[in-house]
């Protein structure tokens, strides 16, 4: 049951992406960057008082 739900979620996400792309083409918008977490940079500094 869980696998079938996950499969349906994946299908719906793919369909949404397809629809979003088609709408952007019809409206004339440029494709927006994909959403997601930003990659951490290697040389980041910790806030003051943070322990390592």
pTM of the model: 0.49
Contact 18, 8 (CB under 8 A): no
CA separation for the pair 25, 15 (Å, rounded): 15
Greater pLDDT, 16 or 47: 16
Neighbour tally for 24: CB within 10 Å: 13
Dihedral, 35, 36, 41, 42 alpha carbons, nearest 10: -150
Greater pLDDT, 37 or 13: 13
Contact 5, 11 (CB under 8 A): no
Residue 15 has pLDDT above 80, yes or no: yes
């Amino acid at each position: 049951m869980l696998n079938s739900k996950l499969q349906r979620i994946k299908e719906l996400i793919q369909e949404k992406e397809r629809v979003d792309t088609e709408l952007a083409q019809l409206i004339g918008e440029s494709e927006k960057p994909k959403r997601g977490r930003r990659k951490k940079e290697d040389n980041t500094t910790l806030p003051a008082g943070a322990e390592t």
